[in-house]
């Protein structure tokens, strides 16, 4: 097995849906897979209070990024304060990830390329070129693109570039 590139591994806390969510995400991203599943045992039952044999963690990769899904119970919920950003090279990629991840999600949580999926996890589906637009020496052009983005839910690369160009 190839060594994963990053030393950082997000741990996603779910109530009981870790395996379902990991399978959902792996089905959306190419070159992604489930690596292993661990299960709760009698050890620590007084702390975790989970049924013996139920899924504890799912280790998986999304395009070679190591991820861990944990069934930790209802104590913690996802928040838009932390999101996973997907840098897309084309409008077709934006459309694919936006449509797949937003299916069954929270439509009210969709703004400026952000969405909340069916598990409450926030994602930013963004053009890879976004930083170039925002950090351009032409401040007025950057501001036009930013204002255009604020009017969008799913980002439209062509419309952002047109705003940047002043068209």
30: left (phi over 0), alpha (psi -120 to 50) or beta: beta
Domain at 11-71, CATH from 3.30.360.10, 3.30.720.100, 3.40.50.10440, 3.90.850.10: 3.30.720.100
Q: What is the pTM of this model?
A: 0.90
Q: Residues 8-29: pLDDT tens digits? A: 999 999 999 999 999 999 999 9
Domain with CATH 3.30.720.100 in the chain: 11-71
Compute the Cα dihedral for 72, 117, 84, 18 and give only its sign: positive
Q: Is residue 148 a contact partner of residue 160, using CB atoms and an 8 Å limit?
A: yes
Q: How confident is the model at residue 49 (pLDDT cuts 50, 70, 90)?
A: confident
Domain with CATH 3.10.180.10 in the chain: 83-165
Average pLDDT over the chain reads 93
Question: What does CATH list as the number for 83-165?
Answer: 3.10.180.10
DSSP-based three-state secondary structure for 128: coil
Closest CA to 128 of 165, 160, 162, 81: 160
């Amino acid at each position: 097995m190839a060594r994963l590139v990053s030393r950082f591994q997000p741990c996603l806390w779910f109530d009981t849906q870790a395996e379902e969510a990991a399978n959902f995400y792996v089905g959306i991203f190419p070159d992604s897979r489930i690596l292993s599943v661990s299960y709760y045992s009698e050890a620590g039952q007084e702390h975790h209070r989970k049924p013996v044999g139920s899924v504890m963690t799912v280790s998986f990769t999304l395009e070679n990024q190591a991820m861990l899904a944990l069934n930790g119970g209802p104590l913690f919920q996802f928040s838009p304060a932390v999101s996973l950003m997907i840098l897309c090279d084309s409008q077709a990629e934006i459309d694919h990830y936006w449509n797949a991840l937003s299916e069954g999600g929270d439509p009210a949580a969709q703004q400026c390329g952000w969405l909340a999926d069916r598990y409450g996890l926030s994602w930013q589906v963004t053009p890879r070129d976004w930083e170039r637009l925002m950090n351009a020496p032409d401040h007025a052009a950057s501001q036009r693109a930013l204002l255009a983005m604020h009017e969008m839910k799913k980002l439209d690369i062509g419309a952002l570039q047109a705003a940047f160009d002043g068209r």
